[in-house]
Amino acid sequence: DTGVSQDPRHKITKRGQNVTFRCDPISEHNRLYWYRQTLGQGPEFLTYFQNEAQLEKSRLLSDRFSAERPKGSFSTLEIQRTEQGDSAMYLCASIGESSYNEQFFGPGTRLTVL
């Protein structure tokens, strides 16, 4: 068990470009969560999946953001037409059936929009 992994670790893009991040949860963890963390703040919930079903989306998740978990394993988070305000750390976490709601976090993807 190698923990939650995220790719890439860093992404620099120009405003208006599309970016996609990937999260690989701990194997057999059925719940997967995305959070966004800006400088000086705690992580803010974006969305979560149980298996392949997206069960909840935050109001923070504008229509430029889309997340998928097509086979109930890895997940992708896409941001279209990036804006400078999208610059943040994007964190992924997963929970297993026997984890008592303990989230295991990945190292995050740091996005910088120029």
How far apart are CB 81 and another protein at their closest, in Å? Answer: 26
Rounded to 5°, the CA angle 20-65-29 comes to 70
Which residue stretch of 19-27, 66-74, 77-85, 105-113 sits at the interface with another protein (rule: CB under 8 A)? 105-113
Q: Is 45 in the site for another protein (CB under 8 A)?
A: yes
The correct pick among 11, 36, 69, 103 for binding another protein (CB under 8 A) is 103
**Distance of alpha carbon 23 from alpha carbon 74, whole angstroms:** 6
Among 44, 66, 72, 80, binds another protein (CB under 8 A): 44
If binding is defined by CB under 8 A, does position 69 make contact with another protein? no
Gyration radius of the chain over CA positions: 13
- Beta-sheet pairing, 10-13 with 109-113: parallel
Q: Is 12 in the site for another protein (CB under 8 A)?
A: no
106 binds another protein (CB under 8 A): yes
Q: Does 25 bind another protein (CB under 8 A)?
A: no
Angle at Cα 63 formed by Cα 61 and Cα 67, nearest 5°? Answer: 60
User: What are the start-end ranges of the E strands in 16-87?
Assistant: 19-24, 31-37, 44-50, 53-57, 65-68, 75-79
Q: What residue ranges bind another protein (CB under 8 A)?
A: 4, 31, 33, 40-45, 48, 55-56, 91, 93, 95, 100-108, 110
